[in-house]
């Protein structure tokens, strides 16, 4: 069948975006809604869920918000069943919920390391595992894992985060390998440095009003010469969630203003 713009439509699909009360997840959810999908999201805290629902309402979107910690397998299974009853089975899952701890490795305690791995790697495993049976039954499904520059690169104080996001890249390829023949596509989006609360500490102005050295570093390291905005991720997410990408599987789409292609500004 020849290509049609309808291939990008998500009309009639149910999309679950984890951790989407604000930030990258919220923007991706808004884009999926714009393309026609019904939006389901969860956060780990009641307060962020309520705030999220209000933000969607302000944007004219009726999103189904739930409180559920993605590391709690029992709770995730229970919520999946509830969503299936209240909204419908999931066509599109975006594993977006994530945390970061910026601590030099020798100062990082093992519990904190484990917690980052738990949310950023075990979480996507748990939620994917919960939605896959219905996707297999329906004969189609899209899973998009939100990876990172740290799926490819290391840096001084993000050992747990890099380990988790590197693992998430490989979980993506493995889900593709295991379920490709069930017409399920699992891809990743690797955002570059994006302006969200997660990266706020890296952009805070110095006492003398000058830019944070890390802010300068990122601008110089990114060919686009700027931080990413959350809406830079909208088009790539719709593409990977839609039928337009049905033969794209196990791929990580880096949306980074060219950062990974660049050695950095010449001295
Ligand atoms: P953010 O502003 O910190 O938002 C993270 C969201 O995840 C929050 O809504 C939070 O909700 C939720 N969350 C955290 N732990 C959870 C858990 N255990 N169960 C359920 N929800 C949980 O982050 P962001 O910057 O938008 O990033 C979103 C994703 O993109 C993350 O995976 C992050 O690693 C990744 N990423 C970010 C950047 C960037 O530059 N910002 C770049 C690359 C990748 P609660 O407050 O309720 O916990
Ligand atoms: C950091 C950053 C990141 C980004 C992102 C890059 O401290 O280096 O927070 O790791 O948020 O994941 O893609």
Residue 197 alpha carbon, nearest atom of ligand 1: 2
Which residues are identified as catalytic?
161
Question: For residue 115, which ligand has an atom nearest its CA?
Answer: 1
- Ligand 1 geometric centre to CA of 176 (Å): 23
Q: Is 151 in the pocket of ligand 1 (CB under 6 A)?
A: no
The three state secondary structure string of the chain is CCCCHHHHCCCCCEEEEECCCCHHHHHHHHHHHHCCCEEEEEECCHHHHHHHHHHHHHCCCCCEEEECCCCCHHHHHHHHHHHHHHCCCCCEEEECCCCCCCCCHHHCCHHHHHHHHHHHHHHHHHHHHHHHHHHHHHCCEEEEEECCHHHCCCCCCCHHHHHHHHHHHHHHHHHHHHHHHHCEEEEEEEECCECCHHHHHHCCCCCCCCCCHHHHHHHHHCCCCCCECHHHHHHHHHHHHCHHHCCCCCCEEEECCCHHHCCCCCC
pLDDT (tens, 9 = 90+) of the chain, 267 residues, equals 689 999 999 999 999 999 999 999 999 999 999 999 999 999 999 999 999 999 999 999 999 999 999 999 999 999 999 999 999 999 999 999 999 999 999 999 999 999 999 999 999 999 999 999 999 999 999 999 999 999 999 999 999 999 999 999 999 999 999 999 999 999 999 999 999 999 999 999 999 999 999 999 999 999 999 999 999 999 999 999 999 999 999 999 999 999 999 999 888
Pocket of ligand 2 (CB under 6 A): 100, 102, 148-150, 155, 158, 161, 191-193, 198-199
**pLDDT for the residue 267:** 86
pTM: 0.98
Q: Is 222 in the pocket of ligand 1 (CB under 6 A)?
A: no
**pLDDT for the residue 265:** 86
């Amino acid at each position: 069948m020849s290509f049609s713009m309808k291939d990008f439509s998500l009309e009639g699909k149910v999309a679950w975006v984890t951790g989407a009360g604000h930030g990258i997840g919220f923007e991706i959810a808004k884009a999926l809604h714009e393309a026609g999908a019904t939006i389901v999201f969860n956060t780990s805290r009641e307060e962020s869920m309520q705030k999220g629902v209000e933000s969607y309402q302000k944007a004219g979107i009726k999103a189904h918000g739930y409180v559920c910690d993605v590391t709690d397998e029992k709770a995730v299974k229970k919520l999946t069943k509830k969503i299936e009853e209240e909204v419908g089975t999931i066509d599109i899952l975006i594993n977006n919920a994530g945390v970061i701890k910026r601590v030099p490795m020798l100062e990082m305690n093992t519990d904190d390391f484990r917690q980052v791995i738990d949310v950023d790697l075990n979480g996507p495993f748990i939620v994917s595992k919960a939605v896959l049976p219905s996707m297999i039954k329906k004969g189609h499904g899209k899973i998009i894992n939100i990876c990172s520059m740290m799926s490819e690169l290391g840096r001084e104080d993000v050992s747990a985060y890099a380990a988790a996001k590197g693992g998430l890249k490989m979980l993506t390829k493995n889900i593709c390998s295991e379920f490709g023949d069930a017409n399920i596509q699992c891809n990743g989006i690797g955002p570059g440095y994006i302006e969200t609360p997660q990266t706020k500490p890296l952009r805070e102005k110095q006492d003398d009003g000058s830019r944070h050295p890390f802010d300068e570093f990122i601008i110089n390291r990114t060919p686009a010469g700027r931080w990413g905005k959350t809406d830079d991720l909208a088009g790539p997410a719709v593409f990977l969630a839609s039928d337009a990408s049905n033969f794209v599987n196990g791929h990580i789409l880096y949306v980074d203003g060219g950062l990974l292609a660049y050695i950095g500004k010449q001295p």
